[in-house]
Amino acid sequence: MLLLCSFYCVSCSDDVKTDVKEKTEVEVNYVKLNEALNLYSQDFAATHATSTSTRGFWKWFRTVLACDATGALLGSSLGGGGALIGGAIFSALGASCAYVVPRPELPNEVAFVRDIPCLMEQEDSIGFSHNAILLEIAEENEGIFDQNLTAEEWTNLIVPKAEKYGYSLSASDEDAIMNNVKTMPLTSELMQSDEQLISYYKAKAPEYAQQLDVIHSYVSTASLITNEDDLKEYTQGCVQIISDAQLPLTERKALVSSVVVAESSAILWIEPEEVVSLKP
């Protein structure tokens, strides 16, 4: 009996050591990934036109992109539909708190990455569908981003549109996304700084802290790129770096989905003609 107990104790100890080792390796690989992304971003910004503004529209713009990407990240565990719907809901809620509105019409070429080594081919259209859904809602409901809709109201608008584009979720999956939304309410004050917003998301979902650092790295540069072709080039480079990272496939897919949604979001949002005061 004593021998049997000793065997189980040794076995449990070995399992714990293995789990700790794997967790440590993942953490180290996230550090390496962020270092690679930061170096790539610095090199890219040095050779391409970017905005140098850190105030006004660009401040709001960065936080909305971070909302889009975070929603896609949290929903990605539910597949492409989760990434799309999660990104769209977070995006709509973020935009309602910020000084951004959708473009009046969909560009002929929406920025979504085509060569994604770690994604299924059909998931490539998430960025396009994200923009199309929010644009259609805006066109059908004038001034909707000034109406302070609840998360439930946005979900009721977004989910049927997502189904139209071939993305659907079960009732339990919708509840999971809604739970994420409700635990992370947004305010105009939070939307004034991307650093502040990412810190807020980390506090609310600490298990995603490392992925949120990757999102922040991408958004910080992508939000300053003023040319659409340059944005596509930059995003493709980030996607390749993420795809090559020594991380679990599920985490790489989640990160790439987030970047794809954020890229399309960068094309979707523009500054409204009149900005008077802080939104309530």
| DSSP codes of every residue in the chain | -HHHHHHHHHHHHHHHHHHHHHHHHHHHHHHHHHHHHHHHHHHHHHHS-B----STHHHHHHHHHHHHHHHHHHHGGG-HHHHHHHHHHHHHHHHHTTT-EE-SS--SS----S--TTS-GGGGGHHHHHHHHHHHHHHHSTTGGGS---HHHHHHHHHHHHHHTT----HHHHHHHHHHHHTS---TTGGG-HHHHHHHHHHH-GGGHHHHHHHHHHHHHHTTB--HHHHHHHHHHHHHHHHHSSS-HHHHHHHHHHHHHHHHHHHHEE--S---S---
Q: What is the predicted pLDDT for the residue at 264?
A: 86
- Please identify every stretch of the chain with a pLDDT value under 50, giving residue numbers as ranges: 16, 55, 107-124, 274-280
| Burial class of 94 by CB neighbour count within 10 A (0 to 12, 13 to 18, 19+) | buried
Structure tokens at 74: 């949290």
Angle at 147 between CA 143 and CA 151, to 5 degrees: 120
Q: What is the predicted pLDDT for the residue at 90?
A: 93
Write down the residue that tokens 């990757």 correspond to.
214
Sequence spans of domains, the chain: 37-269
Select from 186, 211, 188, 212 the least CA-distant residue to 198. 212
Do 225 and 50 contact (CB within 8 A), yes or no? yes
Q: What is the predicted pLDDT for the residue at 217?
A: 94
| Burial class of 19 by CB neighbour count within 10 A (0 to 12, 13 to 18, 19+) | exposed
